[in-house]
Amino acid sequence: MGDKISIALSSFQGSANCAQSVLLAFATDEGLTTEQCLKLGAGLGGGIGHKQHVCGAINAGAMIIGLRFGNSNLNDSDSKQKATVLVAEYMDKCAKRLGSTDCCRILGIDLNNPEAKQKARDAGLFDMVCGNAIKVVCQLLEEDYRKV
């Protein structure tokens, strides 16, 4: 599991957003290319387009659960339902571990306020808080949502 966390955190400390970082950590397991991970996660950082709704890392985790347990054809409603139930459970676990599933509550700043964003950057808030969210998501995916 440490490998997934280090891949995700290393990607995040590079130029990937939180969603891209989680997707990149699980790319090989899920048969995704780097390009696919980057494109899929591109608009999810900062809580979906920096609107600070659901955390991008959490969104990416929901996508991984869908890849692992979701339906691959329109007639497979059982797998679709299973993925829906698992994602709902996962969201509850994220909220419990992170205090919320919303970026604005997890991060505690308004990303659209340039001064607040710069203060947060200077204080290392993104590395600490977003890094923790990425770590929690990776742990949950590895511990509770492994496809066997």
Has residue 14 been placed in a domain? Answer: yes
Instruction: Provide the pLDDT for residue 90.
Output: 98
Where are the alpha helices (H) located in the chain, listed in sequence order?
2-13, 18-30, 34-41, 56-69, 77-98, 103-107, 114-122, 125, 131-143
Mean pLDDT of 1-15: 92
| Amino acid 2: pLDDT | 78
**What's the whole-number average pLDDT of the chain?**
96
pLDDT at 148 over 90: no
20-38 tens-digit pLDDT: 999 999 999 999 999 999 9
Number of domains in the chain: 1
Which two structure tokens, joined as six digits, stand for 135? 């770590």
Distance (Å, rounded) from C-alpha 44 to C-alpha 50? 8
Range of the domain at 135: 2-143
Q: Is residue 57 part of a domain?
A: yes
The answer to whether position 122 is within a domain reads yes
**What pLDDT, on the 0 to 100 scale, is given for residue 139?**
97
**Helices 2-13 and 131-143, axial angle in degrees (round to 10):** 150
Residue-level pLDDT at 1:
55
134 belongs to a structural domain: yes
DSSP for 113-130? Answer: -HHHHHHHHHTTHIIIII
pLDDT in tens, 64-113: 999 999 999 999 999 999 999 999 999 999 999 999 999 999 999 999 99
Q: Does residue 63 lie in a domain region?
A: yes
With cut-offs at 50, 70 and 90, classify the pLDDT of residue 147: confident
Q: Is 148 within a domain? A: no
